[in-house]
Structures are given as C-alpha cells and as structure tokens.
C-alpha cells in the first residue's frame, strides 16, 4: 500500500509540475524541472530501498513458511506412522479373531460332516448288507445253474476224453506194430507204400484226434482257403489266434533210406541231407499256402503222423526245428498234437466261462435294477401299511366309541325301564 501511495504522490507532483510549466516563465520552469528530477531521483532511491526491504521481508516470510510447513509435514508423518502402527495392531487383532471364529466354525462343520458321514456310512452299510444278501441269494441260484451246466460239460468232456484215450490206446497199439524204431515189425514203408497212402493215413489219424478232442464247431476238415489251396484241417480258435491250418502230409522216403541196412554209409548220409531238405521244402510249402494275412493266424501246423520221425527230427536235427519256427510252422506228433488240442479246448472253455461271467454281470445289472424297483415298491408298500395301520387305529377308535355307546344304551334300558302309557278300554 505504501508503494502505491508514493506512486500516486509522484504522479500528482508530475501533473502539478507539468501544469506549472505552462504558467511559469522558462527559468522557473527550469528550476522546477531540476527540483522535479531531484525529487524523482530521491523517489527512485526510496522505491529501490523499499523494494529491497520487501524482498528481504518476503524471503524471511518464505523461510518461516518453509520451516512451518516442514514441521507440519514432520508431525503429519509421525501421525501417519502412529496410525499405521495402530492399523497393523488392529488388523492383527481382527485377523486373530477371524481365524479363531473360522477355526471354531471349521470344527463345527467337521463334526457335522463326520456325523453326516457316519450316518451315511451306517445307512450305506445297511443297504449293502441287504443288497449282499439279495445278491448272494441270486448268485446261489445262478451258480447252481452254472454248476449244473459245467457238470454236464465236464461229464461230456470226461466221456469224450475216455473215448479219446481208448482210441489213442488203439492207435498206440497200431503204432507199436509200425517199424519206427526196430526192424522186427513190419516197417512203415511197407505199410504205406506210396504218398497217397501216407497222406490218407495222416489225415485219418489227424481226423481221429481232432474229432475226439475238439467240439464240432471248432474245426473243419478239408477246408478250402481263399488262395485256392485246401488244408487237411483248420482249427477255429478264439481271437487273437483265429484260424490255424493243419497239414497231415509228410515226406518219408529219405527217412526210411536213412535206416536201410542195405545202403552204404555215404548213401545214408546223403539220404539224411535229402531228408532235411525235404522237411525244409515241406515247411516252405506249408508257410506259403496256409499262412494268409488277415485270414489265418500267423502260424500253421505240420502234423508228423509217426512219433519216431518226430523224435528223430527233434533229437538230431534242431536246425530244422529252428527253421520251421522261423517260418512260423509248428511241427507236432500225435502226442504233442493231442496236448495242443487239449490246450486249445481249455482256451475255448475259458472263453465260454468268460461269456458266462458276462452273463452273470448282466444278471447282476438286472438284479440291481430289480432291487431298485423293489426298494421303490417297498417304500410304497410301507406307506400303504402305515396308512392302513392308521385307518385300523381310527376304525378301532370308532368301534370303541360305538361299543361304549351301545353299553350306555343297554345300561339305561336296564336301570330305567321305559313306562308305557295306559290305554283305557272303551
């Protein structure tokens, strides 16, 4: 305000000096101008000093304001720190209380869950016990039927096995007469002079074994394959084995030459080599004809109708056996073929048993559905029984009331006999 007042005074003086310059003479005007300039110089100095004082005052005021603001900020920071500490303490207390409540609630929920689980377990155990009794009863019935069928099957199997053993005994007696190991009996070569006779003998022997051991639907004789060849027999075995071809033809010329006493040792060695070559060629023929991908199994059977020949091959020619295995051809004799057929029959019996297991599972599924319907009907029956019991109680109440009413009526008739009106005779 002081600076503004000084400025106003200066402006007034300047206006007055200008006004007087127009009225006074030139000398007076010059003197006034000098005085005016001196006064302006003094005014300028005063204004500069006043400005310096104002700047110093503003700096001091700013310093005091900065100090006050810093102190206020420090106090505010301390208050915020104290507030945060209180908030942390309060948060810890709230968390502890919340955790305690949650723990208590968790104990209660756990207890409730355990009680519910215990009740559900007891109810489930009762239901399972009831279902087990029902299932046991039904399984006893099913097991009885299965046992009856199995007993019938075992009986027929035993009869078949006895028949097979009897026929095998006959075959063994016949084989004892064949000159397989000694020359005291008629030789096999004399008995079977040509290839057709040997083939027929092998086919008859193979047919007898297969018919006596395998079920009728599990094999086929003289079966024609898709490649135009005809197998002496095919076995229809369960998957993944599938159809297995059996060949009953076998070369025996060089085998007999190996044991011919009239030949030289070099001829016998040559016959032995030719015998091995005949076997390998026969193995190649069986592998090429009777192993058809996607139609037959990955192996075929070469049936050797003489145990002596089979023993000679396995005892003295293991390389031939290895070659046959590499070509996926299994060399069998009547005895080993009987073991193979019995194994196949056991596999088929196991498959049939598994089918029975599926039937049992299906029956159990049906039994479960029947039990569900039984449970629903039992609930309905229980409801009807409860309603009938309630109706009986109500009927008994009504009957009791009626009986009491009859009793009251009877007591009234006995204690107070009714008085009939007297009619005067006219």
Q: Given the DSSP bridges, would you call strands 219-224 and 329-332 parallel, antiparallel or unpaired?
A: unpaired
Within its chain, how far is the Cα of 106 from the centroid? 34
Give the span between the Cα atoms of 62 and 275, in whole angstroms.
128
- 83 and 183 inside one domain: no
Give the other-Cβ count within 10 Å of 17's Cβ: 18
Give the span between the Cα atoms of 244 and 286, in whole angstroms.
12
Number of domains in the chain: 2
- Residue 39 placed within a domain: yes
Question: Is the bond preceding residue 72 a cis peptide, omega within 30 degrees?
Answer: no
Q: Which of 360, 379, 394 is a domain's end point? A: 360
CA angle 78, 82, 86 (to 5 degrees): 170
- 213 and 330 inside one domain: yes
Nearest to 289 by CA among 213, 362, 228, 210: 228
For tokens 């085998």, what's the residue? Answer: 255
pLDDT at 206: 83
Give the span between the Cα atoms of 384 and 244, in whole angstroms.
65
- 228 and 118 inside one domain: no
- 97 and 199 inside one domain: no
Give the span between the Cα atoms of 385 and 395, in whole angstroms.
15
Nearest to 15 by CA among 4, 7, 5, 25: 7
- 112 and 256 inside one domain: no
- Residue 156 placed within a domain: no
- 354 and 232 inside one domain: yes
Give the other-Cβ count within 10 Å of 333's Cβ: 19
Residue 334 lies in domain: 177-360
pLDDT at 418: 46
- Residue 171 placed within a domain: no
- 344 and 287 inside one domain: yes
- 183 and 241 inside one domain: yes
Q: What is the CATH number of the domain that holds 344?
A: 3.40.1350
Per-residue pLDDT of the chain (426 residues; tens, 9 = 90+): 555 665 666 666 666 666 555 555 566 767 777 877 787 787 778 788 877 888 888 888 888 888 888 888 888 888 888 888 888 888 888 888 887 887 787 788 777 777 776 776 777 677 667 766 776 676 677 667 666 766 676 576 667 657 766 766 776 666 666 545 444 434 444 444 455 555 567 788 888 888 888 888 888 888 888 888 888 898 888 877 788 888 888 777 777 778 777 778 888 888 888 888 888 898 898 888 888 888 888 889 988 888 888 888 888 888 888 998 998 998 888 888 888 888 888 888 887 777 776 677 777 777 778 777 877 887 887 788 888 778 778 878 887 888 787 777 777 654 455 444 444 444
- Residue 159 placed within a domain: no
- Residue 399 placed within a domain: no
pLDDT at 276: 87
- 44 and 113 inside one domain: yes
- Residue 404 placed within a domain: no
- 96 and 219 inside one domain: no
Give the span between the Cα atoms of 361 and 355, in whole angstroms.
10
- 104 and 234 inside one domain: no
Please state the pTM of the whole predicted model: 0.41
- 196 and 109 inside one domain: no
């Amino acid at each position: 305000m002081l600076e503004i007042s000084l400025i106003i005074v200066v402006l007034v003086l300047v206006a007055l000096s200008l006004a007087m310059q127009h009225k006074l003479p030139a000398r007076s005007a010059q003197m006034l101008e000098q005085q005016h300039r001196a006064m302006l110089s003094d005014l300028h100095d005063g204004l500069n000093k006043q400005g310096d004082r104002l700047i110093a005052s503003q700096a001091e005021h700013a310093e005091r304001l900065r100090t006050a603001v810093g102190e206020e900020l420090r106090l505010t920071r301390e208050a915020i720190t104290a507030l945060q500490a209180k908030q942390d303490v309060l948060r810890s207390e709230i968390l502890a209380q919340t955790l305690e409540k949650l723990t208590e609630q968790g104990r209660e929920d756990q207890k409730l869950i355990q009680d519910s689980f215990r009740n559900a377990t007891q109810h489930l155990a009762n239901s399972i016990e009831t279902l087990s009794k029902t299932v046991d009863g039904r399984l006893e019935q099913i097991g009885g039927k299965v046992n009856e069928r199995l007993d019938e099957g075992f009986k027929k199997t035993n009869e078949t096995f006895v028949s097979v053993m009897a026929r095998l005994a006959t075959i063994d007696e016949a084989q004892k007469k064949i000159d397989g190991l000694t020359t005291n009996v008629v030789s096999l070569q004399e008995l079977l002079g040509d290839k057709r006779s040997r083939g027929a003998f092998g086919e008859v022997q193979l047919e007898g074994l297969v018919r006596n051991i395998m079920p009728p639907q599990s094999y086929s004789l003289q079966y024609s394959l898709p490649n135009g060849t005809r197998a002496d027999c095919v076995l229809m075995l369960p998957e993944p084995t599938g159809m297995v071809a059996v060949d009953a033809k076998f070369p025996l010329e060089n085998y007999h030459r190996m044991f011919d006493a009239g030949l030289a040792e070099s001829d016998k060695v040559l016959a032995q080599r030719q015998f091995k070559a005949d076997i390998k060629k026969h193995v190649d023929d069986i592998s090429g004809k009777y192993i058809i991908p996607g139609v037959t199994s990955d192996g075929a059977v070469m049936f050797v109708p003489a145990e002596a020949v089979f023993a000679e091959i396995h005892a003295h020619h293991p390389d031939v056996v290895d070659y046959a295995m590499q070509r996926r051809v299994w060399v069998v004799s009547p005895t080993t073929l009987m073991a193979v057929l019995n194994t196949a029959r056991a596999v088929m019996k196991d498959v049939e048993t598994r089918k029975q297991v599926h039937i049992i599972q299906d029956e159990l599924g049906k039994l479960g559905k029947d039990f569900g319907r039984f449970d629903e009907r039992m609930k309905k029956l229980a409801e009807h029984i409860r309603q009938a019991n309630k109706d009986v109680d109500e009927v008994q109440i009504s009957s009791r009331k009626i009986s009491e009413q009859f009793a009251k009526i009877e007591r009234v008739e006995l204690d107070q006999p009714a008085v009939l009106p007297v009619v005067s005779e006219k």
